[in-house]
Structure 1
Amino acid sequence: MSTIHTLVLVTLLGVTAAVHAHGDDDHAKKDASQPVKKEQKAWGIAGDAKAVKRTIEIKMTDDMRFTPDRLSVQQGETVKFVIRNAGQVMHELVIGTKQELDEHAALMAKFPEMEHDEPYMAHVKPGKTGELIWTFNRPGEFDFACLIAGHYQAGMVGKIKVAAK
């Protein structure tokens, strides 16, 4: 096999391995026996349930909107998000910087069946509720969005303002 053929095969296998069905699986329900990945991000770090100080309910609808779409939290606050999908199609909530969400949305547009499961995202089936616990340990303005292909582009976005202590 030539080097070019090998390179093409390896690339295709890598893309195939990275692209999994988003399907109807309820990714919002994390396996409680698995530890949450604690990776510091610009917008915070995965939170612990015992540290939750406040619960914020967010509704997602098929008009490609979040309610509320503007949130304010304090630096150091651990928030439990209860995310309700009031629509008829799968929606998700992903927290990040505008740049990270733009990049991820571009990947989702190229690979709409891509599966992802990080502690700063919740994928919620129609009519179901998901949860996400996050500690906002850095001040700033951050974003959240539904990155399912077409949803982000339709304006399914929101803002989080993290006030410094």
Structure 2
Amino acid sequence: MKHNFRNTALAALVALAAAGASASGTHAGGHGHDADEAIGKPGVATKATRTINVDMTDSMRFTPANISVKQGETVRFVIKNSGQLKHELVIGTEKELKEHYEVMKKNPEMEHSDPNMVTLAAGKTGEIVWQFTKAGKVDFACLQPGHYDAGMKGAVNVTKTGK
């Protein structure tokens, strides 16, 4: 029971921290709806137009670190942790990632279950299905303490379609 209470308390802390940063309000994931619209939305796996494999390593890098997609495209990311340390891939705006990283530094054992992120133990594989609804740059990073500062980040470049 203590474990569930701790996770609930940490989730509330994240939501409160995000509420201070978002004038548009927050939801259970702890980030504002405007930010969600800026980065896209959870995708439907059956509508994914392609799969992109992303590798995470203890050299604090993603491979690839720069990804190009088209506006409106739904992508299935298959993420593998090839390292010995716990890593994660979190999709968000740069501001949102930095804010979440500060919370993670204070609560390094925080667990996530939002659709824009996956946390993986050494040797494990997971996936994110995401639809990129707006043209522009969407950031991603590992927010495990020390990893973001070491440069474990990347970007998805979303090119405008003729819609």
Q: TM-score range by the shorter chain?
A: 0.7 to 0.9
Q: Matched residues in 2 for 1:63 and 1:145: separation?
A: 14
Is 1:45 paired with 2:37? no
**Equivalent residue for 1:69?**
65
CA distance in 1 between counterparts of 2:159 and 2:43 reads 18
Query: If you compute each CA radius of gyration, which structure gives the higher value, 1 or 2?
Result: 1
Q: Structure 1 unaligned runs (5+)? A: 1-12, 20-36
| Deviations 1:111-145, CA, capped at 9 Å, x for gaps | 11222211000111111111110000111111100
**Aligned residue for 1:84?**
80
Question: How far off its partner does 1:42 sit?
Answer: 1.4
| CA spacing shift, 1:14–1:91, aligned 2, 3 Å | closer
**Given residue 10 of structure 2, which amino acid in structure 1 is its aligned partner?**
A
Partner residue, 1:17: 9
Aligned amino acid, residue 53 of structure 2: E
Preserved CA contact (<8 Å) 2:112 2:118: no
1:147 to 2:139 alignment:
no
AA aligned to 2:65 is: D
More helix as a share of residues = 2
User: What letter corresponds to residue 18 of structure 1 in structure 2?
Assistant: L
Q: Determine what percentage of the aligned residue pairs are the same residue.
A: 53
Q: Say yes or no: does 1:100 pair with 2:92.
A: no
Task: Give the length in aligned residue pairs.
Answer: 136
Runs of 5+ consecutive residues of structure 2 not aligned to the other structure: 12-28
CA distance in 2, matches of 1:15, 1:87: 26
In the alignment, which residue of structure 2 is the partner of 1:55? 51
